[in-house]
Structure 1
Amino acid sequence: MPTRIRKARFDEFTFGFSGSGDQENWNAVAYWSTHDSEALAALYYVEKADSYLGVLCLRNDQHRFAPHGPLVPFRTLREGEASICQKLKEIEERTTELVCPTGEGKPGVDLFTTNHNGTLNPVFVNIRDTMHSQAARKQLQEIANWFVDGDGNFVREFQTAGTDARLWELYLFRVFHALDMKIDQTSAVPDFTLELNGQKMFVEAVTANAGSNQAVDLMAGPTPRPDDFWKFIENDMPIIFGSPLYSKMKKSYWELENVKGRPFAIAVADFHAPGSMIWSHTALSIYLYGTSAEKVLGSDGRFVAMPKPLQSHVKGKKSIPTNFFAQPGAENVSAVIFSNAGTKAKFTRMGTLAGFGNPTMTVRRIGTLSNPEPGALEGIPFNVNIENGEYCENWADELEIYHNPNALIPWPDEDLIPAATHFRQKGDDLVWRGAPFRVLNSYTEVISKPSFPTE
């Protein structure tokens, strides 16, 4: 029996399909699916024509949902819904195999079929095999259906030593698409060739990784904050971020013919310890701009955060200069992009909101929101069941863009990419523009809760 579905489910199956033509005048009013999600349909109200358009979507031979057949006009919503239900019912009751449309371009990748003898990463095995990971696994594969492997090694690396780095790339791929950017997948260097409103941009992805190849203990939970936390944030963590950022900068991507004269950014994520991205992100801005913060007693008797300029970051015998954006060559880096959400947890939450995963699993998000009060030292804690009917989450919610004040070619500002949080240096102050209650850090709790017993 055809079933009405939520927009989130339709979007993740169709990779954000939103009609064609003048999309500003397309208002989605209903989404439907066959019982096995083999076929989808959407109904749009078109204001200019004061009528409705129905679209049927089937998976093509590349496993991507795409519009199939002509758009069908209807005079009323009821007429459109009745026709959609009838069409989907016919598909469900057919006695012959459903013919798949033919896809265009290169196919995506199959993340979870193993065709090599490499040692599998325990994080990959956890995503592939556990019941708790079903929502993340389904969500990742739907994204991967659209992701073209530029160098031919993506799947092997995702399954072996590069699981974290490849999760980060898949996250960025989905976020850039959610920001309505066109992603040109014909070139593999840099990682992302983007276009938005006629503006071309380039992004190279990198991760801060552990210094050893020790296997991750998936039962141990997130790594706790270091005992001398602020010393670690001002010294150890900037060195951890600095190594991959400096290495990428030395590759001079901006000299490539396709990149010359265009904004170029490095997108970095922290995977140096399990769950470290929950508490490490504060160190990035300290390293990029060379300014930390210290507690100062205000005139009202309360402690507030004040700028604290630094000169270097020191760990043992190692010392590196602070202020990455002021280093020679960094003027060619328009911005540094960061998120602490390029992890299994994000894919679990978005997959759950799309209706993927085992229905006996309850998903809670627990963390800290930013505090918009000037000089606030502490965030605002939250703990929420993401399926409570009020919770809302978007792909770009945790995306942060740190603008280089010395950039020869500036990165597009918040007017072009309003969904991200933008950081800029104003004197010794770091100012940001974005959602007032953005998530600073969080962890996701997935717990099996069987149905209530019935008589």
Structure 2
Amino acid sequence: MALDLFTPIVSDEEQHPIFQMILNEAYTPERSIITSWAEGFEDRDGKFITEFQKTFESSFWELYLHAALKDFGFEINLEHHAPDFAIESPTPFLLEATIAAPPAGGRPPIGATKEELPKDFTEFNIESTLRICNSFDSKLKKYRKSYSKLDHVKDKPFVIGIASFDRPHSHFAAGRSIMAALYGIYHDEAATKPTDERVPSYNVSAAPKNENTNIEVGLFCDDTYPEVSAVIYSCLATWGKVRALADNPDALTIYQTVHPREGSILPEVRSTTKKDYHEHLLDGLYVLHNPFATNPLPRGLLNHERICEVSVANDGELIMDAPDDFLLLRMLFSAIPK
């Protein structure tokens, strides 16, 4: 029986603003997309629908990962209470979902205004990296404390799925924050000159949390975290993804997307109306391997023509396998008839 996600079971006051918005009749095609993601999904603890309606982002990300795993053609075992997904075939592995959430008192990624657009990308990227590291650490502790003792988990690759929902315009993090968090590589647009042929990049080992504390980054640069086989990451598995996939050609929306440009540090920017716009479920998704994993995730297992798969060569060089038009960023501009 399919989950009934959209019949309200919490009070209006408790409902998440995006959930309330989705209930609008105009978003019937978008509800259909989310419902399709939930096909075959099981509410194992009886709280999923409540959490979806109240807090939205973490449940939404879990549904997206479920849809992605189905798109890869994996057999998923949802009988176990944890981790979130136990993949049975073609190669067994475990996947735990989490989001990079706002810090205590921080603004959520909804109702963002032009005034909240990042003015200092260095500060924005540092804060985004810190939130990713915090989410990674939380799930690692859960694995060490409980998951690793479960019979169905032992000796299998363990993957953490992280989505960025940590601030207004959090999607602007693109791949900068996850590359710094996992591989200690920071691409510094702020230091880039118009005449440069490549964006300056350098290795970093820590990011400043405050004036007295630094947080370790480069989590996959040594054997400190061998339990984590890989990270699946996206900052674009958002409400914008649902709108991009929805069969709603008459929507008055322009999709502005950013892609790599061969031979240039300047990206290619495309603007497309909804009726002509096409996006794949997996566009914008990263799979990032830990070269020090005790139980490595086989390279290529999560390979797909639309994703970016990152691994480390024997000499330490990063190998990035991605389409030439990989989706780096997506922005929507909508007109609302009155």
Q: TM-score range by the shorter chain?
A: 0.7 to 0.9
In structure 2, the residue matched to 1:17 is none
Q: Among 227, 232, 244, which residue is 2:119 paired with?
A: 227
Once the 2 structures are TM-superposed, how far is the Cα of residue 365 of structure 1 from its aligned partner? 1.6
The residue correspondences of 1:202-213 to structure 2 (distance < 5 A) are 202-212=94-104
Change (3 A) 1:278 1:214: closer
Distance change (3 Å), C-alpha of 1:278 and 1:217: closer
Distance in 2, matches of 1:280 and 1:297, equals 17
Match in the other structure for 2:135 = 244
Give 1:366-381 correspondences, 5 Å limit: 366-373=256-263, 376-381=264-269
Q: CA deviation at 1:250?
A: 0.9
Alpha-carbon distance in 1 for matches of 2:311, 2:334 = 36
Q: 1:19-168 alignment to 2 at 5 Å? A: 107-117=1-11, 119-129=14-24, 131=26, 133-160=27-54, 162-168=55-61
Match of 2:67 in 1: 174
Distance 1:319 1:260 in 2: 33
Q: Which digits, 9 at most, give the CA deviation of each residue in 1:351-404, with x for residues without a partner?
A: 22xxxx5x642343212012343xx4332111112422xx54221122210110
In the alignment, structure 1 residue 411 sits paired with structure 2 residue 297: yes
Q: Secondary structure at the match of 2:43?
A: coil
Compared CA separation, residues 231 and 343, structure 1 to 2 (3 A): closer
For residues 274 and 185 of structure 1, the distance between their equivalents in structure 2, rounded to whole angstroms, comes to 33
Post-superposition shift, 1:112?
1.1
1:277 match: 171
1:235-292 Cα distance to aligned partner (Å, 9 max, x none): 3222111111101001123442101111110000111113312335311111111122
Structure number with greater CO (CA < 8 Å, separation at least 6) is 2
Q: CA deviation at 1:120?
A: 1.0
Contact kept in structure 1, 2:29 and 2:246, CA below 8 Å: yes
Root-mean-square deviation over aligned CA pairs: 2.8
Q: What is the deviation of 1:307? A: 3.9
* 1:366–1:382 CA contact under 8 A, matched in 2: yes
The answer for the alignment partner of 2:332 in structure 1 is 444
Contact preservation (8 Å) 2:170, 2:235: no
Given that residues 111 and 168 in structure 2 are in contact (C-alpha distance below 8 angstroms), is that contact kept between their aligned partners in structure 1? no
- Alignment partner of 2:131: what SS? helix
Give the Cα–Cα distance (whole angstroms) in 1 for the partners of residues 236 and 67 of structure 2.
Answer: 12
Matches within 5 A, 1:255-274: 255-274=149-168
Larger Rg: 1
SS of 1:315's equivalent? strand
CA contact under 8 A between 2:244 and 2:278: conserved in structure 1?
no
- Relative to structure 1, is the Cα distance of residues 379 and 444 closer, same or farther in structure 2, using a 3 angstrom cutoff? same
- Tell me the TM-score normalized by structure 2: 0.87
Q: Match of 1:284, SS?
A: helix
> How far did 1:218 drift?
5.2
- Corresponding residue for 1:192? 85
Q: Match of 2:208, as an amino acid? A: V
Q: Which runs of 5+ in 2 are unaligned?
A: none
Residues 1:214 and 1:434: Cα distance change in structure 2 (over 3 Å): closer
Q: Distance in 1 between matches of 2:24 and 2:215?
A: 42
Q: CA deviation at 1:294?
A: 4.8
- 2:122·2:188 contact (CA, 8 Å) conserved in 1? no
When the two structures are aligned, how many residues end up with a matched partner? 329
1:304 partner SS: coil
SS in 2 for 1:324: coil
Matched, 1:432 2:302: no
- Structure-2 change in CA distance of 1:238 and 1:416 (3 Å): closer
Match of 1:422 in 2: 309
- The structure richer in strand per residue is 1
Q: Equivalent residue for 2:241?
A: 346
Q: Render the CA deviation track for 1:377-436: whole Å, top value 9, x for unaligned.
A: 332111112422xx5422112221011011111112126623431012345643300211
Corresponding residue for residue 252 of structure 2: 362
Q: Report the counterpart of residue 35 of structure 1 in structure 2.
A: none
Of 232, 236, 250 in structure 2, the residue corresponding to residue 337 of structure 1 is: 232
Provide Cα deviations, 1:31-51, integer angstroms capped at 9, x if missing partner.
xxxxxxxxxxxxxxxxxxxxx
Task: Provide the C-alpha distance between the structure 1 equivalents of 2:173 and 2:192, rounded to a whole number of angstroms.
Answer: 25
Q: Counterpart of 1:150 in 2: which secondary structure? A: coil
- Counterparts of 2:108 and 2:127 in 1: how far apart (Å)? 21
Alpha-carbon deviations, 1:11-31, whole Å to 9, x = none?
A: xxxxxxxxxxxxxxxxxxxxx
Matched, 1:394 2:280: yes
**Take 1:321 and 1:348, find their aligned partners in 2: how far apart are those partners?**
36
User: For residues 397 and 170 of structure 1, what CA distance do their matches in structure 2 show?
Assistant: 16
- The residue number in structure 2 matching 1:318 is 213
Unaligned runs of 5+ in 1: 1-106, 451-455
Aligned AA (1:175): A
